[in-house]
């Protein structure tokens, strides 16, 4: 099976490889550079889904054979006291035209970091970059920084990808 990921992110590629391994799928996984067409920090389901769908569609256009996957992380805001979760949306496009959509578990982002990113503008600033600036760590894996390494971005993506791949 050939799987093309609409990203060259090491976290995302590793997550796809780990998910395939855990499911016993023999897959050749490759990544292609794509744009989500969204702000650096997508907000809400519509923006986040659109980014994942655009990435999957672009990957499918570049490599039409096999499975195409788009992954986009976004922030989702809830409640009167404003709680923000970082959640990835995954869009998987099969070779026979099916579309499968799943999401990762959420990691709560502290509001002080969300406010700073929002003030700078979500068009160019992610909450993850603010977390890294303030606390250190890897801006592409703020989950690990916030949980002292107990939860990584890769792990949350693996679990969601297993869900998607099991639906093929």
Dihedral pair phi/psi, residue 109, rounded to 5°: -100, 130
Three-state DSSP class for residue 31: strand
Q: What is the pLDDT of residues 103-127, one digit of tens each?
A: 999 999 999 999 999 999 999 999 9
- List strand residue ranges (DSSP E) for the chain, in order: 2-5, 28-31, 67-78, 83-93, 99-103, 107-109
Q: What is the pLDDT of residues 24-33, one digit of tens each?
A: 999 999 999 9
Tell me the CA distances in angstroms from 96 to 60, 70, 138, one per residue in order: 12, 17, 37
Euclidean distance between CA atoms 141 and 107, whole angstroms: 11
* Spatial contact of 7 and 14, defined as CB atoms under 8 Å apart: no
Name the residue range of residue 77's domain.
2-165
Q: Tell me: pLDDT of 147 over 80.
A: yes
- Mean pLDDT over all residues of the chain? 96
Predicted TM-score of the model (pTM): 0.95
Write the Ramachandran bin of 28: left for phi over 0, alpha for psi from -120 to 50, otherwise beta.
beta
pLDDT score at 82: 87
Q: What is the pLDDT of residues 65-109, one digit of tens each?
A: 899 999 999 999 998 778 999 999 999 999 898 999 999 999 999
Q: What is the pLDDT of residues 46-64, one digit of tens each?
A: 999 999 999 999 999 999 9
The number of domains in the chain is 1
pLDDT score at 39: 96
Q: β-strands 107-109, 99-103: how paired?
A: unpaired
Percent of the chain residues topping a pLDDT of 70: 100
Check which CATH number belongs to the domain holding 12 and give it. 3.90.950.10
């Amino acid at each position: 099976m050939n799987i093309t990921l609409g990203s060259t992110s090491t976290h995302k590629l590793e997550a796809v490889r780990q998910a395939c391994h855990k499911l016993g799928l023999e897959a050749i996984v490759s990544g292609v550079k794509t744009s989500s067409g969204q702000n650096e920090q997508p907000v809400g389901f519509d923006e986040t889904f659109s980014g994942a769908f655009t990435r999957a569609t672009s990957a499918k256009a570049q490599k039409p054979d096999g499975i195409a996957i788009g992954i986009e992380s976004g922030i989702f805001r809830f409640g009167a006291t404003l709680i923000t979760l970082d959640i990835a949306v995954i869009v998987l496009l099969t070779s026979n035209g099916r579309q499968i959509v799943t999401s990762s578990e959420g990691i709560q982002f502290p509001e002080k970091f969300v406010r700073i990113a929002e003030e700078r503008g979500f068009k160019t600033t992610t909450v993850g970059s603010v977390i890294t600036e303030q606390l250190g760590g890897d801006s592409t894996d703020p989950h690990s920084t916030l949980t002292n390494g107990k939860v990584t971005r890769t792990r949350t993506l693996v679990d969601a990808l297993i869900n998607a791949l099991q639906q093929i």
